[in-house]
């Protein structure tokens, strides 16, 4: 069925204007004033904003980690994303030791395809770069997986050396692909963790104290330099601190094709949250840092020193010994209690996928930290451009997928775990007031969210085949 959204204030990265929007065949078919509505469902968006659906390019759904698994799968995570105005995301397909890249992709599709509700893609996280795997890399681009993730941390598990990173950068550049890095000096972190444990420093704050900002800054600059030598594009994930921002800005100022993202949690939380009695809730890697870093990240997003805002959504129950109920089913999965008495055993990760756009609206745009157009740019348009989905995704333009969010600036809500759709037992933003919410969310013209009503169905989400040689913004 055709849908005409009338009288809404359309917002893109570059423009804000009043117009009608015709959705037909899953696409944005026409934009203009006083569009005819013959045979179409009419939605009056007067006094509301019409945004492109959000794109979260950093998530970990159903990820095995630390003796357990992240609690959101490709259904529950997608449902939460949609209620937060996000209609597409890219998850990390992690290669196991001894696996080919194609075997890893097949394993991830078995997790995702029958459950997906929003559209999705994969980054390929390489942990075992044999010669055969190196030769396999270009075939990933042909299949629509155009980004490779390497970890400079997690010694003995995921960490790669500089030789591996440099060879991958060169191979990716040849194929029009991009390398993403988790930038922390894993050798330094490993040494500091062992030292802390030996001295009996076991509380959650030591998760941050053993992962200092200089370890992130050093790894970021090293990755930037290696990318420059390889002539390859680079994307630094989950930047947390001013020192790392400086390294990316240094490379960009010298003409290198390097970019970076931060995540919503790094704008607000600090090591003091780790010092709370429930501090394990805030354990993620890299760690939350200081108020000065919070402010530096807001400035970096405002001035384009960083180009995107994601979530690194990877939820674990705070107390996995207790059942929770989700859609009438009880579920119990081991969680952060695994690290009670030893910070190094706390599963690393936070629930954020539903909160990203909501918090950016109320506490970014609403507090004057960024403009509404910039919010669309860093949450929708830049992710689509950087990751080979533009203009099919990430903007309001004729011919694009009709991934559309009608945002009501007058709707209000108090965040709580009970009202969250993430499958977890806590919310980082519990008690925060939201001023403005998604009222309707469309995916390819299908109405997923209508107020509090959920219309999504498992298997309704589609795989996104992404383009190589994507933009550097």
C-beta neighbour count of 114 within 10 angstroms:
11
Residue 452 burial (10 A CB sphere; 0-12, 13-18, 19+) = exposed
Tell which phi-psi region holds residue 408, choosing left (phi > 0), alpha (psi between -120 and 50) or beta: beta
How far does CA 170 lie from the centroid of its chain?
26
Do both 33 and 160 map to the same domain? Answer: no
What CA–CA distance (Å, rounded) separates 288 from 10? 35
Contact 12, 53 (CB under 8 A): no
Please tell me the predicted confidence (pLDDT) of residue 51: 98
What CA–CA distance (Å, rounded) separates 267 from 289? 10
Do both 90 and 200 map to the same domain? Answer: yes
Do both 174 and 287 map to the same domain? Answer: yes
Does any domain span residue 225?
yes
Does any domain span residue 358?
yes
Q: What is the CA radius of gyration of the chain?
A: 21
Task: Copy the structure tokens of residue 179.
Answer: 């390398």
Mean pLDDT, rounded, of the chain: 97
Contact 420, 427 (CB under 8 A): yes
What size, in residues, is the chain? 473
Do both 38 and 84 map to the same domain? Answer: no
Contact 463, 121 (CB under 8 A): yes
pLDDT for 211-257, tens place per residue? Answer: 999 999 999 999 999 999 999 999 999 999 999 999 999 999 999 99
Does any domain span residue 467?
no
Do both 359 and 314 map to the same domain? Answer: yes
Please tell me the predicted confidence (pLDDT) of residue 459: 97
Contact 80, 90 (CB under 8 A): no
Please tell me the predicted confidence (pLDDT) of residue 320: 97
- Give the CATH number of the domain where residue 171 resides: 3.20.20.140
pLDDT for 291-334, tens place per residue? Answer: 999 999 999 999 999 999 999 999 999 999 999 999 999 999 99
Query: Average pLDDT in the 154-160 region?
Result: 91
pLDDT of 436 strictly over 90:
yes
Do both 60 and 26 map to the same domain? Answer: no
Where helices occur in 101-256 by DSSP H, the ranges are 101-112, 131-142, 162-174, 186-198, 205-209, 213-230, 242-253
pLDDT-based confidence at residue 1 (cuts at 50, 70, 90): confident
Does any domain span residue 460?
no
In which domain, by residue range, is 338 found?
53-386
Do both 152 and 231 map to the same domain? Answer: yes
Does any domain span residue 425?
no
Lowest mean per-residue pLDDT among 68-72, 153-157, 233-237: 153-157
How do 3-11 and 41-44 pair as beta strands? parallel
Does any domain span residue 248?
yes
To the question of pTM greater than 0.75 for the whole model, the response is yes
What CA–CA distance (Å, rounded) separates 95 from 101? 6
Do both 39 and 173 map to the same domain? Answer: no
For 270, which DSSP code?
B
Do both 28 and 64 map to the same domain? Answer: no
Please tell me the predicted confidence (pLDDT) of residue 66: 85
Do both 138 and 278 map to the same domain? Answer: yes
Task: Copy the structure tokens of residue 417.
Answer: 């775990």
Do both 334 and 401 map to the same domain? Answer: no
Query: Average pLDDT in the 423-428 region?
Result: 98
- Give the CATH number of the domain where residue 30 resides: 2.30.40.10
Domains contained in the chain, number: 2
pLDDT-based confidence at residue 424 (cuts at 50, 70, 90): very high
What CA–CA distance (Å, rounded) separates 382 from 376? 8
In our burial notation (b when 16+ CB lie closer than 10 A, e otherwise), range 167-189 reads ebbbbbbebebbbbbbbbbbebb
For 415, which DSSP code?
-
How do 119-125 and 147-151 pair as beta strands? parallel
Does any domain span residue 289?
yes
Does any domain span residue 398?
yes
Do both 348 and 229 map to the same domain? Answer: yes
pLDDT of 386 strictly over 90:
yes
pLDDT-based confidence at residue 380 (cuts at 50, 70, 90): very high
pLDDT for 11-68, tens place per residue? Answer: 999 999 999 999 999 999 999 999 999 899 999 999 999 999 999 999 999 999 989 9
């Amino acid at each position: 069925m055709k849908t005409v959204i009338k009288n809404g204030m359309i917002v893109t990265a570059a423009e804000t204007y009043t117009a009608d929007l015709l959705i037909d065949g899953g696409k944005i078919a026409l934009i203009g004033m006083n569009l005819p509505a013959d045979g179409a469902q009419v939605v009056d968006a007067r006094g509301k904003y019409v945004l492109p659906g959000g794109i979260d390019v950093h998530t970990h759904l159903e990820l095995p980690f630390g003796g357990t698994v992240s609690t959101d799968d490709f259904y529950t995570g997608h449902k939460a994303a949609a209620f937060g105005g996000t209609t597409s995301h890219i998850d990390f397909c992690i290669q196991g030791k001894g696996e080919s890249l194609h075997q890893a992709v097949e394993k991830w599709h078995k997790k995702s395809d029958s459950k997906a509700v929003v559209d999705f893609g994969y980054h390929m996280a390489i942990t075992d770069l044999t010669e055969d795997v190196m030769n396999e890399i270009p075939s990933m681009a042909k299949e629509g997986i155009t980004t490779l993730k390497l970890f400079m941390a997690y010694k003995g598990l995921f960490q790669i050396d500089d030789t591996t990173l440099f060879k991958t950068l060169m191979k990716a550049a040849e194929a029009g692909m991009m390398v993403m890095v988790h930038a922390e000096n894993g050798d330094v972190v490993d040494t500091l963790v062992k030292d802390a444990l030996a001295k009996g420093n076991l509380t959650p704050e030591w998760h941050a104290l053993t992962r200092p900002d200089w370890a992130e800054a050093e790894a970021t600059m090293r990755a930037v330099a290696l990318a420059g030598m390889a002539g390859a594009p680079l994307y630094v994930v989950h930047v947390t601190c001013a020192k790392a921002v400086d390294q990316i800005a240094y490379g960009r100022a010298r003409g290198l094709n390097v970019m970076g993202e931060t995540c919503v949690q790094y704008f607000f939380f600090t090591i003091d949250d780790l010092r709370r009695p429930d501090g394990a809730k805030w354990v993620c890697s890299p760690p939350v840092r200081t108020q000065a870093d919070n402010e530096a990240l807001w400035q970096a997003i405002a001035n384009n020193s960083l180009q995107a805002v994601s979530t690194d959504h990877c939820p674990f129950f705070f107390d996995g010994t207790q059942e929770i109920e989700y859609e009438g089913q009880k579920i119990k999965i081991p969680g952060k209690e695994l690290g009670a008495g030893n910070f190094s055993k706390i599963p690393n990760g936070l629930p954020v996928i539903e909160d990203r756009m909501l918090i950016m609206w109320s506490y970014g745009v609403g507090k004057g930290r960024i403009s509404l157009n910039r919010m669309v740019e860093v949450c929708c348009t830049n992710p689509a451009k950087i990751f080979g989905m533009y203009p099919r995704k990430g903007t309001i333009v004729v011919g694009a997928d009709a991934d559309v969010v009608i945002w009501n600036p007058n709707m209000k809500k108090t965040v709580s775990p009970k009202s969250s759709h993430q499958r977890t037992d806590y919310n980082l933003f519990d008690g925060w007031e939201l001023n403005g919410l998604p009222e309707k969310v469309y995916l390819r013209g299908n109405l997923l969210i209508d107020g509090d009503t959920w219309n999504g169905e498992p298997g309704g989400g589609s795989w996104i085949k992404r383009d190589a040689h994507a933009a550097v913004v």
